[in-house]
Amino acid sequence: MTIMVTGAAGFIGFHVATKLLDQGERVIAVDNVNDYYDVRLKEARLAKLAASPNFRHLRLDVADRAAMEGLAADAITGIVHLAAQAGVRYSLVNPHAYGTANVMGQIAMIELARRCKNLRHFVYASSSSVYGGNTKHPFSVGDPVERPVSLYAATKRSCELIAESYSHLYRTPMTGLRFFTVYGPWGRPDMAAYIFTDAIFADRPITLFNRGDLKRDFTFVDDIVAGVLAALVRPPKDDGTASPHRLYNLGNNRTEPLRRFVDVLERAIGRKARIELAPMQPGDVYETSADITESIADLGFKPRTSIDEGLPKFVAWYRDYHGLQSRP
């Protein structure tokens, strides 16, 4: 198969592209390699992918309508659309980036999908952020999601609604995946595992919002990739009534207190963190937890990695990537 992976220079996109290449598939990557975080990390990911003869990178912006309309589409059999402007807090600083990358990018990519004569499935990234401040736990895909507490969440919910309308009109099989706090090797520098690890090694304090009283469904990247690829080969059936569009949670199904996350990270690093406590941040939520009943039943999704296993793997990668000794 020939799979287009958008955001392949990003964290999850890199891991998805790597696994597809390992399986012998051809991968066309679309990524503009923006500077939201250190471009050197993105280029390092791309360099690893480029070692495969089945990999091709197009340095394009998914929200560039003309560029997407100019792409040859006939060879593409699947699309995994992961490119997006990420980050809840950054959406308070640069809101226009989210409307462009997330909303316009979704429309441009689905329009591209419509031109793919051999396309079997369009899979795209959503987020647990769409659940907003819901207090019912765990979060289920059938729960109301009409009260986002951040612009990022609002754009991700918009992506789901856009997919639903296109799938209804044109019968294109689509699946949206709501990711829950993904971490692991090659992770993003704006997320907790990287921020905390970087600070601990540099003996800088880490900030725990809501005075450390937060809970997250931390999900290891290998489990996420397994879920993405399981979804890719299982396009929704079109029964002629409901649209062939489905939504699934991909989470670890093990909600962890933030304080325990820090404890496990400290043990993996071999140092204690200096902690500063702060109030809850605008746009943040107290707890995330995934009901993965439908993901298990329909996709065979089985997350296997606890933070006790996953965080040491992240720390080992961090040491290697930054050229640090095995123990401080």
Q: What is the pLDDT of residue 24?
A: 97
pLDDT value, residue 92: 87
The domain spans of the chain are 2-180+220-253+289-304
Of residues 37, 90, 152, 166, which has the active-site annotation? 152
Average pLDDT over residues 305-319: 98
Mean pLDDT of 25-48: 97
Evaluate if residue 164 carries a pLDDT over 60: yes
The angle at the Cα of 159, spanning 153 to 164, to the nearest 5 degrees, equals 130
pLDDT of residue 217: 97
Average pLDDT, the chain: 96
The whole-number pLDDT of residue 13 equals: 98
**pLDDT at residue 251 tops 80:** yes
Q: What percent of the chain has pLDDT over 70?
A: 99
On the question of pLDDT at 327 being above 70, the answer is: no
What's residue 56's pLDDT? 97
Summarize the confidence of residues 228-233 as an average pLDDT.
98
Task: Please confirm, yes or no, whether 90 is among the known catalytic residues.
Answer: no
pLDDT at 326 over 60: no
Q: Quick one: what percent of the chain has pLDDT higher than 90? A: 93
Average pLDDT of 225-249? 96
Over residues 32-48, the mean pLDDT reads 97
Task: Name which of 49, 54, 114 is nearest 79 in CA terms.
Answer: 114
Is residue 199 scored above 70 in pLDDT?
Answer: yes
Q: What is the pLDDT of residue 269?
A: 97
Select from 184, 17, 1 the least CA-distant residue to 9: 17
* pLDDT value of residue 328: 44
pLDDT class for 301, splitting at 50, 70, 90?
A: very high
Query: What pLDDT, on the 0 to 100 scale, is given for residue 32?
Result: 97
Whole-angstrom distance, CA of residue 74 vs CA of residue 313: 39
Right CATH for 2-180+220-253+289-304 from 3.40.50.920, 2.40.340.10, 3.20.20.370, 3.40.50.720: 3.40.50.720
